[in-house]
Structure 1
């Protein structure tokens, strides 16, 4: 059975809505000539969108609805064939639109069959994938689910099968969002079936949906691109039918956001009523960018994040210390407080100002067993805490913002008894990109194309074969205000399909860090992440590499941070042997000098807002 997506119906309704508003509209003439001009008001795509989003618990998660407490999902499916008796045109059209939204074939029994055939043809003729619909004689015997769509009765008049509305005398009934109200009414539940999938997470449901995966992602991409075309910056974008046409869209650079969003411009705005949250991005690595999330965008982020936190290892009853950075429009604390407040866990949100005393008190008095943090803040804090309380235990560590070295993970297991150490990849511009389940480690992360579709390209924007390392582009499939379409986010990595022991199959991302972490010194290249991993033999937790041009060539300064005192000479000798591109060559191109500076833990400068350490400083680019 073909699955249909309500977002395609929304696009069709939006196009009919535009036709009805046009001068000399044939669509408006159809309604007027048949004595039902009031039906124009029912072609309201935004109203229908808001109603369906509430009805299905998130249009972007359809056909599943994640359950917060259990990490299971409910799955929606159509009732099958819905039969409507054409008592009034308004009720019949409401039944038709909502019947289609749930994926049903709709049969209209009517004495005015030519009108309904023409109207059905108008909506289905918009080039979108919609279910079938047909007409039948008013007295025909039709198999299916007979649905009585209630009339709208104002001021609570007692009529059978009635949708009663009480209207304040100071307001007019025409302000009523009828379709959104229908989506909150009992009658609409006849249009679909729900199945509770015990033990099935959202990511598992999607990974098993192999027959429908392409159609599901195609529908999401069609919708987000069409919605994006409301914004002046995207107005000239071509519509796309699906993933095969993704390459028709231009690559979006950070400079595009900087130039075309507030405070400079509203070119990325849809023109809708402002709602939601604005985050600042890029403050630690360049010019700030302001990323807008509408209310719906924010809700989608939360709906997707809660199953992700379950997959990271959080469970019902956990007691979590949240130390992520906040303030100055930075998103770490803001997003996670919203997400975690909906989960069945107890949270203690300290932010970046947590002290050792705070940590020990929360672990001792509140029995905190988990912590969410950035490694640059976390490891110095925990080492001081263990010195003061050697028996301290923290069961779960979830980290993001910057990578964590393997030597630090080993220390957590040995000194704190930590059994769950999971990484989450997220950014202010785009939210979550990937996560680690209990089976993935190192740099590997599950991704969700239903939320952020990830492409890998070379510097010129040409697609790279699966498994090759390159720049990451993201397309936010559930972000509609200030959309991110093929956005070069500034990270690099490679993507390949993986059958994971956790039960989720699909794309995984081997994350190699920021694109500026790819250090290029004349013909040679080396990854910051590889150098950090190599320095694990010295117990290095954090690493900064600075490249400066000089008269003799280029000077490289390597700065390390570690819990024990290091000998710069020993570190330099190691780097010279293991990473030749960083060391002065005897002949040929390369850096003219390699210097090593060793810092105590917590002593490398952190950005005041994000708390991150600038991993690579390339003064050649200035």
Structure 2
């Protein structure tokens, strides 16, 4: 019997999909009650999705504190082989996740089906440029999913040299690239410089966002016909993907693999269209169950059905930002609100640095992108976020913008990710320059941007 990976679950109908979800959730809750940690917080009669919403939300810190100090209390039974993975630590201390062999096999099957729904076919030749090593599972898990799907894979990894990549990609007729944009965007520009004729058909990416400016460059210079995103968590693996009809940050949820909720600050589900925190319940993790787990990202459900006909729901993924930045007593702002204020400028990468200023903070917004105008970004921040603009006028805080060259921000060598928030206020030292110098390089453009207060353009060493 052939397995189809380019269609939704075999039932195809939302009603039958709901029955499948309910059955899987029942097995997960039954396993969780055998674990000491969950036995203390799960009501005995809790069952079904309606009851799930009544259970407490588990924070990342609470879950991983237990995983580090008393992991056996999270365990529901005997372990028969498995894999240990670790987060990159860009949003806090690195954390471990332990998967059983059965869970990994289920992840591979779900991942292969997801790739099929995204447009990957058996005849495709895929350049796998995801991260690998030091307990990071990106490249390894994708390899298994591509094997399950039946496509040909070329496991380049993220650090491949342009010449080596081009030689193999031409010979093996690569037509799909899967990568993390933060790792590989500058690499694609180097590849284009070596061979402007090189291109491919489909770009799949995960691990970080892709700016509209970078997406336009890829389409123009690489001839890419379609770009699609996967969203995943080390603790729960994939939970969202883009079909050919998804636009912007719209994603389908993999409802029979991870149950997704959007909740308010009290853990209550919000209405469709309302923004909130993304909470996951893994429908396949039974060794170390993961129930109502706050992954630290935000999103909102989209109520309309998708033109692709899939029964999977749709969300708008708004990214990381569940952290409140306290710059002074009167100036506090959520990270996602700050990033949203300048997102339309299309930076390739973002880092928010808090430096000491008087008894408050100097907010330094560091952005990659040669097209960016730091003065414009700063003006949008202060105009669109009056709480910051008014605090700057009073002189209680500072807000600066550093515009850096592509690849200048420090990245995790494992995952390619950039730490979003770096708080240097209590370390007694200025944040290290992303250019590796005591301070940022400044360059005054034709508009005199470097002379404007709070605007710093990164330039070249003289």
TM-score by length of 2: 0.84
* 1:558 and 2:326 aligned: no
Describe the superposition over 1:53-94 as per-residue Cα deviations: whole angstroms up to 9, x where unpaired: xxxxxxxxxxxx9x54x426xxxxxxxxxxxxxxxxxxxxxx
Q: CA RMSD in A?
A: 2.6
Select which of 421, 424, 430 maps to 1:616: 421
* 1:607 and 2:412 aligned: yes
Q: Report the 3-state secondary structure (helix = DSSP H, G, I; strand = E; otherwise coil) of the residue aligned with 2:149.
A: coil
Evaluate the alpha carbon distance shift between residue 399 and residue 320 of structure 1 in structure 2; reply closer, same or farther with a 3 A threshold.
Answer: same
> 1:51-130 residue pairs with structure 2 within 5 A?
67-68=2-3, 70-71=4-5
What is the number of residues matched between the two proteins?
421
Are 2:90 and 2:420, in contact at CA under 8 Å, matched by a contact in 1?
Answer: no
1:243 corresponding residue in structure 2: 49
Distance 1:413 1:614 in 2: 28
Evaluate the alpha carbon distance shift between residue 578 and residue 265 of structure 1 in structure 2; reply closer, same or farther with a 3 A threshold.
Answer: closer
Are 2:8 and 2:310, in contact at CA under 8 Å, matched by a contact in 1?
Answer: no
Select which of 111, 114, 117 maps to 1:308: 114
Distance 1:482 1:407 in 2: 41
Q: Report the 3-state secondary structure (helix = DSSP H, G, I; strand = E; otherwise coil) of the residue aligned with 1:266.
A: helix
Instruction: Give 1:609 shift.
Output: 2.1
Instruction: Give 1:567 shift.
Output: 5.2
2:345 corresponding residue in structure 1: 535
Distance 1:263 1:275 in 2: 21
| Structure whose alpha-carbon radius of gyration is higher | 1
TM-score by length of 1: 0.63
Distance 1:322 1:312 in 2: 16
Q: Which sections of structure 2, spanning at least 5 residues, go unmatched?
A: 428-462
Describe the superposition over 1:327-353 as per-residue Cα deviations: whole angstroms up to 9, x where unpaired: 111121221122112222111112122
Higher helix share: 1
Instruction: Give 1:563 shift.
Output: 4.3
* 1:512 and 2:318 aligned: yes
2:454 corresponding residue in structure 1: none
Q: Report the 3-state secondary structure (helix = DSSP H, G, I; strand = E; otherwise coil) of the residue aligned with 2:260.
A: strand
1:254 corresponding residue in structure 2: 60
1:117 corresponding residue in structure 2: none
Select which of 433, 436, 447 maps to 2:242: 436
Instruction: Give 1:495 shift.
Output: 1.7
Instruction: Give 1:391 shift.
Output: 1.1
Distance 1:464 1:620 in 2: 35
Evaluate the alpha carbon distance shift between residue 255 and residue 296 of structure 1 in structure 2; reply closer, same or farther with a 3 A threshold.
Answer: same
Instruction: Give 1:470 shift.
Output: 1.1
1:400 corresponding residue in structure 2: 206
Evaluate the alpha carbon distance shift between residue 603 and residue 524 of structure 1 in structure 2; reply closer, same or farther with a 3 A threshold.
Answer: closer
* 1:232 and 2:36 aligned: yes
Instruction: Give 1:402 shift.
Output: 0.7
Instruction: Give 1:439 shift.
Output: 0.7
Evaluate the alpha carbon distance shift between residue 597 and residue 519 of structure 1 in structure 2; reply closer, same or farther with a 3 A threshold.
Answer: same
Distance 1:233 1:282 in 2: 25
Distance 2:341 2:123 in 1: 39
1:216 corresponding residue in structure 2: 20
Describe the superposition over 1:510-536 as per-residue Cα deviations: whole angstroms up to 9, x where unpaired: 111113467676365553552453222
Q: Report the 3-state secondary structure (helix = DSSP H, G, I; strand = E; otherwise coil) of the residue aligned with 1:475.
A: strand
Distance 1:485 1:258 in 2: 13
Instruction: Please say which of residues 555-564 and 425-434 is displaced more in the overlay.
Output: 555-564
1:547 corresponding residue in structure 2: 354
Are 1:276 and 1:293, in contact at CA under 8 Å, matched by a contact in 2?
Answer: yes
Instruction: Give 1:509 shift.
Output: 1.5
